[in-house]
Amino acid sequence: MKFTKTAFRAALKANDQTKVWQLVAISLKRTPTKKEVCNYVEKFSSTLRDFRKAYNMAYSRSEKNTSPKMVYPKYTVSLERGAALAMLRRLLTEKPSNYTKVPMMGHTHLYFCSPSYGHADYNKVCTCKIEGNEEFVNKIVKIGEKFMAKHNI
């Protein structure tokens, strides 16, 4: 079996999860991760409907359990930016507590971590690379700084 775009699209349309994973494994010549499968799905899906179906397949979600607010990277933002936006949304909607995580820039990535521990926080969340997303990262950090100033954190 060879990896071809046609075979991959046919597997997506047929909603054949096993075949999709096999084709990605053949292409990569190793066992793929969920993110790699999702990247292939994003790259080769022809319609939004196919992409949603395959995205849910890659992350083992049933069609019934998906949230209507779910972000589909190809059509809105990248997965990394989506993760950063989800963390920011969470920050702005929840009450500040000891477990609040605010955005901080590292050398290469944007992190969400405790304001008191900063980069030493063992439970920090790495969301997206700074390279190529400089303007986006700066906006997120400014919003985080305004949040901290408003709540005296």
The 8-class DSSP code of residue 133 comes to -
Q: How confident is the model at residue 138 (pLDDT cuts 50, 70, 90)?
A: very high
63-82 average pLDDT score:
52
More confident residue, 36 or 64: 36
Question: What whole-number distance in Å separates Cα of residue 76 and Cα of residue 73?
Answer: 5
- Rounded Cα distance between 11 and 24, Å, is 11
pLDDT (mean) for 33-37: 81
For the chain, domain boundaries? 5-63, 79-150
| Total Cβ atoms within 10 A of residue 56 | 20
CB proximity list for 18: less than 8 A, separation 6 or greater = none
Would the pLDDT of 74 be above 50? no
Cα–Cα dist 38/57, whole Å? 9
Structure tokens at 50: 């196919």
Q: What are the tens digits of pLDDT across the range 82-97? A: 788 888 888 888 888 8
**Separate counts of helices (H) and strands (E) for the chain:** 6, 3
- Comparing 28-42, 94-108, 112-126, the range with the smallest average pLDDT is 28-42
In DSSP terms, 110 is beta-bridged to 105, 128
Band of residue 65 on the pLDDT scale cut at 50, 70, 90: very low
Task: Compute the distance between CA of residue 108 and CA of residue 85 in angstroms, rounded to an integer.
Answer: 18
